[in-house]
Amino acid sequence: MVDLAGFVASKLGVPPEAFRLLLTLLAGYPIAAAYHKYVADRPKTLQHLYFALSGMGLCYYNYGTDTYHSLLAISVTFALVTVLRSKPLLLLIINFVFHMSYLLLGYYYTASNEYDILWTMPHCILTLRMIGFGFDISDGLRKEEELSKDQKETALRDPPNFLELLAFAYFPSSFLVGPQFPYRRYQSFTNGEFRQYAGYKEAGLKRLGAGVLYLAVCQAGLTYLPDGYFLSPEFAAQSFIKRIYFLGFWAKFSLYKYISCWLFAEGALMYLGFTYKGRDELGNADWTGCSNVKLKLLESGNTMQHYVQSFNVNTNQWVAHYVFKRLKFLNNRNISYGAALGFLAIWHGYHSGYYMAFLMEYMIVSTEKQIESVYTKQVLPKYGETLNNSKIYSIIYFFCLKSYNIVYMGWCLTSFVFLKYERWITVFSAVNYFGFIYMLIWACIYHGYRYYRKTQPREPRPSTSTKQD
Asked if 410 and 248 count as a contact pair (C-beta separation under 8 A), the reply is yes
- What string of DSSP letters covers 417-455? HH-SHHHHHHHHHHTTTHHHHHHHHHHHHHHHHHHHHHH
Asked if 175 and 59 count as a contact pair (C-beta separation under 8 A), the reply is yes
Single-letter amino acid code for the residue at 286: D
Single-letter amino acid code for the residue at 198: A
Q: Would you tell me the crossing angle of helices 434-455 and 391-418 to the nearest 10 degrees?
A: 120
Nearest to 94 by CA among 124, 138, 126: 138
Q: How many angstroms separate the first and last alpha carbons of the chain? A: 98
Let me know if 274 is exposed, middle or buried by CB neighbors in 10 A (0-12, 13-18, 19+). Answer: buried
- The single-letter DSSP state of residue 287 is -
Q: Would you tell me the crossing angle of helices 434-455 and 352-374 to the nearest 10 degrees?
A: 40
CB atoms within 10 A of CB 378: 12
48 is catalytic: no
State the DSSP H helix or E strand holding residue 278, giving kind and residue range, or none if neither.
strand 278-279
Distance (Å, rounded) from C-alpha 91 to C-alpha 373? 43
161 is catalytic: no
Q: Which residues contact 9 (CB under 8 A, 6 or more apart)?
A: 15, 16, 18, 19, 20
Distance (Å, rounded) from C-alpha 9 to C-alpha 98? 36
Q: Of 48, 69, 123, 348, which is the active-site residue? A: 348
Q: Of 62, 95, 292, 312, which is the active-site residue? A: 312
Nearest to 353 by CA among 180, 111, 139, 168: 111
The catalytic residue positions are 312, 348
